[in-house]
Structure 1
Amino acid sequence: MQSFERSQVILPKTQQEQIARVLTQVTEQYPSIAEHPLIDTVQRIGVAAHHAGHLPSWKIAVEELMRTGSLDAVFATTTLAAGVDFPARTVVVTQSSIRKARDFTDLTASEIQQLAGRAGRRGKDLVGFAVITPSPYIDLTVLTKGLTGQPEAIHSQFVISYPMVLNLLKAHPREQIQSILAKSFAQFQLNQRTAVLETKLDGLRAEMEPFGPRVCSDWITQWQVFDQARKRKKPRGLSARQESPDVAARLHFLTPGRVVGLIRGRGIILRQYRSKGQHAPMVTLLRDGGSLNECPASIVTQVFDRTFDCEETSSYPWCTPQTLEQLTHHLLDLPPRLPILPILTHQNEEIPLDSSIIQTLGDFACPTCPSRQACQRDFPKASRIRQEIQRHMKSIQALQTSLWHRFQERIDVLERFGYLNATAQLTADGEWARLIRIDHSLLITELIRAEAFGAIDPPLLAAVMASIAHDDDRPGSFPRGSAGLVTLLFQVRKLAESLAPHEAPPMLRADVAALTERWVADQTLTWIGLARLTTMAEGDMFRLFARTIEFLSQLKTLKATHPSLAESADRAIAGMRRGVLEELP
C-alpha cells in the first residue's frame, strides 16, 4: 500500500464516487473509519489492504467495497479466505506459510482451498484464476498438497475447565456427569479411535491363537521369569520403579515408529533402551530436520495417537536407511494438530521380582516340561504380541475414560483449594468462582481470594486483566507502566508460578499491561494518540482491549460477593469503551 501511495494512476470519477458512497454508508455505523490513514489512497487508486492488524470496522469497509465491485485489488492475508462472498476474478498466492499466535506455520489444506476458492464466484463469474507466484516464501509441496488433498479432520476443542466442573456439579449430581460427558462430541471422536484400536486388538489376539494353551496357564510369564532366574539378570521392568509415575506410564508406549511431543517440537521414536552408564531410560529420537538424538525418556511430554512402520536394525541408526528416509518425510508432513493418546498414570503397577528372590521360590518345572522347546522357540514373538495387546488395551481404557479421568482431576484440585467439599458440593467460594468462565480462571479466583484486587484502581485492574488475557509474544514498543503495576504484576506472576502444576500460567506481559493502563488512566488520550505510543497494530490493540473488557465483565458479575471489585471492573469497562471501542457490539 505504501508503494501505491507513490502511484500516479487515478481512477475514473465514477469509480471514485462509488467508493466515496460506500465509505460514507459504512462510516455512519462505524465513525472510526473517517480518520483511517488509507482512505485517500483507496479512493484515488481503488486498492486496499485487509489483514488482522486492521480495525474490524476498516475490514468491514474493505469487504463492502469489494462486494460492490468498487475496488480493483485487495492485498490480504487469510482473513479474507473464509466467510466472505464477493467477486474476485483472480487470487494471487505469494507465500505458503503464515504467522499465527507465536510462530510461522504452513498454510493448512483448508486455508489453501479457501484462498483458491475466492477466485471466481458461482453466478457472478464464468471463470476464476488462482495464480501462484515464484517466491522465496513459496513451498510448492505445501500448496500442491493443499490444492489436491483433503481438508484436515475436525477435532473437538472440548476442554474440561475448572468453571465447567463447578457449573456441572452445581446443576447435576456427580454420578450423572459421566453419562453427560459420554454424549459429547469429544467422546464420540475418542470412541472412533477406540474402535480402530479394538479392530487391531482382534487381529493381535488372532495372531496369539497358534501359540495355544500349554502346561502353564500363563506360559509366557512363566518362561520369562524362569529365563531371568536362570541367567541371574535383573528384570528390565525393575527400572520403572525409579521413574516418576508420568514417565513410567509413557514408557510402555515409546515404541519404534511412535510420534511423540517433546519439550520443544516433535519427533519419532526409533528405539528405547537403558545403557549401562545411564540411570534413566533413554530413547533414540528422529527430530525435525532429520537429526538423530539420544535423549532421556523424560523429554517426551506427549504421546500422539500416530505410529509409522519402522523396520528396526541392531545398529545405528537403529532402522534401515529406507525406513529412516520415509520417517523423515512423515515427520515433515505431519499436520499441526495430532490426536493425543491419553495415558492414565498408575501409581502401583506390579513390578517383576528380582531374580535373586525368584531363586528362593523353589525349582521351576520348565527344565523337564514337555513344552519347554516350544516355549523357548515361541517366546520372542509371543511376548511381543502380548505386549502389543497390553498396549492396545491400555490405550482403549485411556480413551474410554480420559474425559472422566480429567474431570476427576479437576475435582481433586478444586477440593484441595476449597471450592468443593469432600462430597463434591460447592462451597461458598465455589458458588462465586463458577461465575468466572474465562481462561486462567483458577489464577483469577485465587487472586480474588488473596485480596490482590482490594480497593484497586480501575486502570490498574484493567492492566492486570489485559496481561492475563493477552497470549501473543510478538515484540514491540510500548509505554512504561506505573510502579504500582510493576509491583502487582510481580505478585501475580509468583502466584501464577505456584499454580503451574494445575493451570498453565499466562504470559503476563508488563508492556501490554502498561498500554492498557495508559488508555484507561488518561481519558483525554485519543485512539490515534494511543496508536502513536506503540508499534502494536491497531487490530491487535482492538482485540486486546475487547478481550480485556470480556475478562472485566466476568468480575463485574461478582456484585453480591465482591461489590468493591465489581464496581472497579464496571468503572474500568466504562473507561475503556470510548472512541473505537464504542463500536463493540
Structure 2
Amino acid sequence: MAPSIHPADLLSTLRHKHLTPAIVFLTSRRACDDAMQALALLPSAIPPDRQEAIARVLDGVTAEFPSIAEHPLRETVQRTGVAAHHAGHLPSWKIAVEELMRRGCLDAVFATTTLAAGVDFPARTVVITQSSVRKARDFTDLTVSEIQQLSGRAGRRGKDLVGFAVVTPSPYIDLRHIAKGLTGHPEPIDSQFVITYPMVLNLLKAHPLDHIQAILAKSFAQFQLDQRAERLQEKLDTLEVQMAPYGPRECTDWITQWHHFDTARRRKPHRPSVHKQDPPEVAARLPFLTPGRLVSLGKARAIVLREYRSRGQRSPMLTVLRSEGSITEIPVTFVAEVLDRTFEVKETRAYPWTTPETIQGLVDELAELPTRVPALPILVSEQADQIPDELIAQTLDDFPCPTCPSRHACQKDHPTALKLRQEIARTTKAIQALRTSLWHRFQEKVEVLQQLGYLTPAAQLTADGEWARLIRIDHSLLITELIRAEAFSAIEPALLAAVMASIAHDDDRPGAFPRASAGLSTVLNQVRRLAHELAAFDDPPLLRGDIAALTERWVGDPALTWIGLCRATTMAEGDMYRLFARTLEYLSQIESLRSSHPSLADTAARAIANLRRGVLEELP
C-alpha cells in the first residue's frame, strides 16, 4: 500500500484540479491536527482579499461566541484557507468553521467521520482516506451507510452540477470495502428503544399496568420484532409441512419413545450417565447453538460447527469457526449473544466437523457480514427443558420397540424427524421471545423497582417512586439510590458536581488530570460500593476519579479560567465541554427535586451556577 499523501500535496492537487472546496476525512483527531500543523509550517498563503473575508466572518462569529477570539488555529485558518473540524474542538469553533465553509471562504476542511452526519456542510469534493473508524478502543470497518454519508457530502446544491468523491492511497484503506459501500444497499434501521427505570415509573404514573403491553406493542421496536417473528413464522410453517410425513405411529410421540429406547440400548451398564444441571441462561441458549448459527464472542463473531459436552465435567462446549479462519473449542458460557443469522454447514463426523469447501465459504460470508446483526431474544426459564437421565428407563423390557412393527421405520426416520422437531421447537421459542421480549423487559424492570421500594406490589408508585421518576438520565437508579442513602447529605456544590461528572462520563480515553482531593475520594468510594451492589440491576458507570477531580477544580475555584483549566489536563477542549454539558444536565435533574429534597436541589443549583461560566455560558 502506498503511503498517505502529504496534506500540502493533496491541497495543491485539489486546487490545481479545481476540486475545492473539499472535505478531507481522516482517521482520527490527531491526524486532523497534524495536517493543520503541517500546513502552518508552509510559507504560502492565500490572497489578502480572501484573508480579509475570513477575518470578517470570524469577527462576526466571535461577537456571538467570545471563546474563539484567541483560538490557536485562527491565524493558520486565516492564512491558509484551511481548517480542522472534529469532536476535540469547542462547539463554538466548529460553528465558526461551518460558517466559513458555507460562505465559501475555505478551500478544505480536515475532519473525522463524525462530520458526515447531521451537519449542513457543503463541499464540491470529499476525499476518503480510510475504510475503518475507531470506536472505543478498536477500529471497525465503516458501514455502507457511513460510506454513503461520507460520499454524499460531495456536491453543493445550486453551485455544482457534479460532486466528486476522491479515494486516496492510505495504509488505512481497503478499496474493496469502499467499493462495496459505494454500490451496496444501506443497512436497515434498527430501533434503539431501551426500557429504562424512569420510563417504567412514568408509564405507570400515567397508565394502569394492564394497559402498558398494548402501549409497547405500538412502538417501532416491537414493529421490527414482529417483522422478524413473521419471517420465522414462515420458516415454522415450512418446517411443519416437512414434519407432516413423520406423524404419529404406534406410539403417539414415537420420536421421544425411540430416543429413550436408543439411549437405554446404548448406555453401558457399568458407566451410568451423570446428568449435570446447566445454568438457566446456558440451558436456554443450547437449543439455538446448532451448526451454522452465528454467535457473538464479545467483540468477535463466529459460526458454530458443533455442540458437545466435555469429558469428565460434562460442560456444554462449542466448536466454532472465527472470522480469521481459525477453528477453536470454547465453553458455551463464552457466547455473549446468539445472533439472528444461520449459515448452511455440511456436517462431517470428524474434525473439523465440516468440509474444507464449507469452511472457505463460511469465512467469506463472515467477511461480508454487516456491522450490525440483530441478536436473537432468548427467554431464560428457571426450569430445564431437557428430561433428566433419571427419568429415562434403564431396561429394554420397559419399551415396546423390540417387537413393534414400526421399529425399522422409526430407526430410519428418527435422525431426520428429531432434527426437524428440534428446529420447530427452537423456532417456536424464538417467535415467542420476539413477540414478548419488550413486555418481559418491562416486567423485569417492574420487579426490580418493587424490590427496591419504588413500586408497590400492585405496581403503584410509592413516595420514593414519585420523585425518582423525575430523574430521567443514564444511571438514574444509582443516583436515586445514592439520594435515598443520604450520600449527598450536606455535600458541597463542587463535590456534587464532581460525582455527577464521574457518573455522566462514559469515555475511557487516557490523559493527564489533577489529583482527587481526600473528600472526593471518600465520596467516590461510597458511590463505587453502591454501584457494585446495583450491578445486577444496572450496568455501573466508569466512575473515573480523575474526571471527577477536573470537575471539582473547575466548580470549586471560581477564579480559574478556561485556559488555566486546559493547562491542567491533556483532555481536549471539546471533550471537556461535553463533559460539563452532561454534568449540567445531571445537576438540573437533581435541581428538579425541590419539593422532595429542597436542600439537595439548592446545592445542585449552586453547583450549576459555579459550573456554567466562561465557555460554558455559551450553552443554549
Sort the TM-score into its range (normalised by shorter chain): over 0.9
* 1:254 corresponding residue in structure 2: 289
Q: Deviations over 1:17-63 (max 9, x none)?
A: 21112112211221111121111111111110001111111111111
Is 2:200 aligned against 1:165?
A: yes
User: Is 2:83 aligned against 1:48?
Assistant: yes
Gaps of 5+ in 1: none
Over the aligned positions, Cα root-mean-square deviation in angstroms equals 1.8
1:19 is matched with 54
Rate the CA distance shift 1:15–1:243 in 2: closer, same or farther, 3 A: same
Q: How many residues align?
A: 582
**1:443 aligned partner:** 478
- Alignment-mate amino acid for residue 81 of structure 1: A
Distance 1:530 1:51, change over 3 A: same
Shift in Å, 1:79? 2.9
Counterpart among 564, 571, 587 of residue 536 in structure 1: 571
Residues 117-128 of structure 1: pairs in structure 2 closer than 5 A: 117-128=152-163
Cα 1:421–1:314, aligned 2, differ >3 Å: closer, same or farther?
A: same
Q: Does 1:455 align with 2:487?
A: no
2:18 counterpart residue number: none
TM-score (ref. length: structure 1): 0.96
Q: Would the aligned equivalents of 1:229 and 1:355 in 2 still touch at CA under 8 Å?
A: no
Rounded to whole Å, the distance in 1 between the matches of 2:202 and 2:309 is 47
Residue of structure 2 in register with 1:91 after alignment? 126
Q: CA deviation at 1:163?
A: 0.6
Q: Does residue 37 of structure 2 align to residue 2 of structure 1?
A: yes
1:320 equivalent in structure 2 = 355
Displacement, 1:371? 1.5
1:480 equivalent in alignment to 2:480: no
Secondary structure class of the residue paired with 1:48: strand
1:112 and 2:139 matched: no
Native 8 Å contact 1:69 1:87 kept in 2: no
Contact 1:112-1:147 at 8 Å conserved across structures = yes
* One of 384, 405, 422 as aligned partner of 1:387: 422
**What residue in structure 1 maps to residue 365 of structure 2?**
330
Task: Note closer, same or farther for the CA distance 1:356–1:119 as it changes in structure 2 (3 Å cut).
Answer: closer
Shift of 1:261: 2.0
* Partner of residue 232 from structure 1, selected from 257, 267, 284: 267
> Counterpart of 2:504?
469
Q: Tell me the equivalent position of 2:8.
A: none
Q: Distance in 1 between matches of 2:557 and 2:254?
A: 79
Return the alpha-carbon distance in structure 2 between the equivalents of residues 424 and 500 of structure 1.
23
| 1:577 counterpart = 2:612 | yes
Q: Which residue of the other structure, out of 334, 342, 351, is the alignment partner of 1:299? A: 334
Aligned match of 1:399: 434
- Give yes or no for contact 1:87–1:124 (8 Å, CA) kept in 2: no
Is 1:290 aligned to 2:325, yes or no? yes
Q: Are residues 1:556 and 2:600 paired?
A: no
2:562 aligned with 1:527: yes
Contact 2:501 2:582 in 1 (8 A): yes
- The reply on whether 1:71 has 2:106 as its aligned counterpart is yes
Query: Secondary structure in 1 aligned to 2:69?
Result: helix
Identity within the alignment, %: 69
Q: Which residue, 194, 203, 212 being the options, matches 2:238?
A: 203
- Report the more deviating stretch, 478-487 or 123-132: 123-132
5+ residue gaps, structure 2: 1-35
8 Å contact kept, 2:275–2:389:
no
Establish whether residue 280 from structure 1 lines up as the match of residue 315 from structure 2: yes
Instruction: In structure 1, give the amino acid aligned to 2:425.
Output: Q
Contact 1:163 1:434 in 2 (8 A): yes
Retained in 2: the 8 A contact 1:285–1:292?
A: yes
1:335 deviates by 2.8
Question: What SS does the corresponding residue of 1:20 show, helix, strand or coil?
Answer: helix
| Matched residue type, 1:423 | A
3-state DSSP of counterpart to 1:206: helix
**CA deviation profile, 1:408-459 (whole Å, cap 9, x unmatched):** 1111111111111111111111111111111111111111111111111111
Per-residue CA shift, 1:115-166, capped at 9, x if unaligned? Answer: 1112222321122221111111112232122111111110000001111111
Secondary structure of residue in 1 paired with 2:187: coil
Correspondent of 2:406 among 359, 371, 378: 371
Quick one: distance in 1 between partners of 2:136 and 2:507?
6
What's the CA shift for 1:68?
Answer: 0.7
Q: Which of 93, 102, 112 is the matching residue for 1:58?
A: 93
Distance 1:179 1:296, change over 3 A: same
Assess if the C-alpha contact under 8 Å between 1:220 and 1:383 holds in 2.
Answer: yes
